[in-house]
């Protein structure tokens, strides 16, 4: 169905009416819906795997590892903690509020949520966010990506088979349909995508002062630093795995590597060796290697390869018909070159050499640019690494590892500035989709005239002395 402003408005109003019945406020209801979501993923597993293969050439193993499995884990984590998270908090009001000594903080859902998901993980980044929305007690309109059309069709079927439209609905279409959604008054918007589009989302949301969470990729890309004391074989193995995953189309993927020039050559030799070991001489010929989402992205890889042809030291080949492009190492690249000043979101991998003794200058460059979504460092100097990781600003990251920080239960995931705002996963997702409401229950007797006029004279003096005592 081609959506119009009228059809989108009708869905939103239907969900708003349903939310106002209070059905979603019941934690038992949310638990039931989360269990239905988990069952739906398992029951539609084959359909979802086929869709991911059609859109991105993801094998069943990669589809479960990166899309379906994490949704199950996310739902299980929420089910384990939701009763505790949703429980109202009791607080002592303090002597300043005497005699009204009891205050409660209720965790209230926002209402009707809009979830705009991307093409690269069309199942995970739709259903994972939906799980957070459900946990908070909201209804949800899911605006899925038109680029991953097969996954959108699979989600439409799965959601229609599982939930009524007044509770969860899928709206498909391009940017025009996204704008139809953004023109509506939602109570919460969660957008995953690029910083450029995020500015538009914020602008549209501002018209209704709607609370927004953004999960972005980082405008100037995610850095991986390899110091001269790093275990280069271990680093190469992990970096190669990560760059092959989804053909580099991952918001937390390594955009560029900064490698100490003292070990640059042996590191590059190990990295090439790992690419070949894991995917073969020509990745584009491996049936398990994911494809690029559109020919436009393929053409970008071709254009960058041609632009840096004299510095392509590995890869640089592709299969246009299959829309696959091999992991391509470009070396050496200057820290100020254009290729390392924006997010690539593809298999291109520029490598920037630096003198290890001048690591401070490199960190200054990274700090001066927009905050990345992720940060990775490889070194044996854990003290230095921990100092860097707690002083730079970025979304999240790893020391001597890649990507798996986002798989840890109980911790938040998202960026800051141009790489995002807000956070989710587990309890953090529950918090993102709820508003804490503070309610004090007043007393009708023993109320002191402390806050009332007069404020001057002897009465004022007595009140000031009492206030000073209460505020200790």
How far is Cα 130 from Cα 137, in angstroms, rounded to an integer? 11
Number of H helices, E strands in the chain: 16, 18
- Cβ-proximal residues to 188 (8 Å cutoff; 6+ apart), any chain: 110, 111, 112, 113, 114, 133, 138, 210, 211, 212, 213, 433
How far is Cα 450 from Cα 467, in angstroms, rounded to an integer? 8
Measured CA to CA in angstroms, residue 251 lies from 63, 217, 219, 415 at distances of 17, 4, 10, 10
Cα angle, residue 141 at apex, residues 139 and 142 outer, rounded to 5°: 130
Residues facing 108 on adjacent strands = 435
Neighbours of 116 (CB within 10 A): 25
DSSP three-state, residue 190: strand
115, 142 contact by CB (below 8 A): yes
What positions carry a catalytic annotation?
A: 215, 251
226, 349 contact by CB (below 8 A): no
Reference 18, options 171, 167, 187, 170; nearest CA is: 167
Measured CA to CA in angstroms, residue 280 lies from 246, 262, 315 at distances of 16, 28, 11
Q: What share of the chain is helix, strand, coil (3-state, %, to 5)?
A: 50, 20, 35
- Cβ-proximal residues to 4 (8 Å cutoff; 6+ apart), any chain: 180
Pairing of strands 89-92, 102-109: antiparallel
Neighbours of 332 (CB within 10 A): 16
26, 134 contact by CB (below 8 A): no
Q: Provide the 8-state DSSP code for 413.
A: B
Give per-residue burial for 57-87: e unless 16+ CB within 10 Å, then b: bbeeebbbebbbebbbebbebbbebbeebbe
């Amino acid at each position: 169905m081609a959506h119009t402003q009228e059809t989108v408005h009708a869905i939103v109003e239907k969900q708003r009416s349903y939310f106002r019945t209070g059905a979603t406020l019941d934690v038992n209801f949310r638990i039931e819906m989360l269990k239905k979501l988990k069952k739906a993923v398992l029951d539609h597993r084959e359909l979802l795997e086929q869709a991911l293969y059609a859109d991105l050439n993801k094998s069943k193993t990669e589809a479960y590892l990166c899309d379906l499995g994490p949704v199950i884990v996310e739902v299980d984590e929420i089910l384990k903690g939701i009763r505790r998270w949703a429980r109202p908090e009791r607080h002592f009001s303090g002597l300043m509020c005497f005699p009204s000594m009891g205050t409660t903080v209720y965790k209230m859902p926002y209402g009707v949520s809009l979830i705009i998901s991307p093409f690269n993980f069309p199942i995970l980044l739709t259903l994972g966010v939906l799980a957070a929305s459900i946990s908070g007690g909201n209804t949800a309109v899911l605006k899925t990506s038109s680029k991953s059309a097969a996954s959108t069709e699979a989600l439409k079927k799965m959601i229609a088979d599982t939930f009524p439209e007044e509770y969860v609905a899928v709206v498909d279409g391009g940017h025009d349909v996204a704008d139809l959604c953004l023109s509506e008054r939602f109570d919460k918007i969660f957008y995953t995508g690029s910083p450029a589009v995020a500015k538009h989302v914020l602008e549209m949301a501002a018209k209704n002062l709607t609370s927004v969470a953004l999960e972005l990729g980082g405008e100037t890309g995610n850095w991986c630093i390899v110091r001269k004391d790093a275990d280069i074989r271990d680093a190469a193995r992990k970096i190669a795995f990560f760059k092959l995953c989804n053909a580099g189309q991952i918001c937390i993927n390594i955009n560029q590597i900064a490698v100490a020039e003292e070990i640059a050559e042996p590191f590059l030799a190990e990295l090439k060796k790992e690419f070949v070991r894991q995917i073969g001489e020509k990745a584009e010929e491996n049936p398990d290697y994911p494809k690029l989402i559109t020919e436009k992205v393929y053409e970008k890889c071709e254009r960058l390869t041609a632009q840096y042809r004299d510095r392509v030291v590995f890869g640089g080949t592709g299969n246009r018909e299959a829309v696959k492009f091999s992991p391509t190492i470009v070396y050496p690249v200057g820290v100020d070159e254009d290729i390392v000043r924006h997010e690539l979101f593809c298999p291109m991998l520029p490598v920037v050499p630096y003198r290890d003794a001048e690591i401070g200058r490199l960190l200054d460059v990274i700090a001066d640019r927009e905050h990345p979504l992720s940060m990775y460092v490889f070194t044996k100097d854990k003290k230095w690494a921990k100092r860097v990781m707690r002083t730079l600003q970025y979304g999240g990251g790893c020391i001597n590892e890649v990507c798996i920080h986002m798989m840890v239960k109980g911790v938040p995931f998202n960026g800051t500035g141009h790489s995002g705002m807000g956070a989710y996963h587990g309890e953090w997702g529950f918090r993102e989709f709820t508003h804490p409401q503070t309610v004090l229950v007043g007393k009708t007797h023993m109320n002191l005239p402390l806050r009332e006029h007069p404020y001057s004279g002897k009465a004022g003096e007595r009140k000031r002395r009492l206030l000073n005592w209460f505020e200790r």
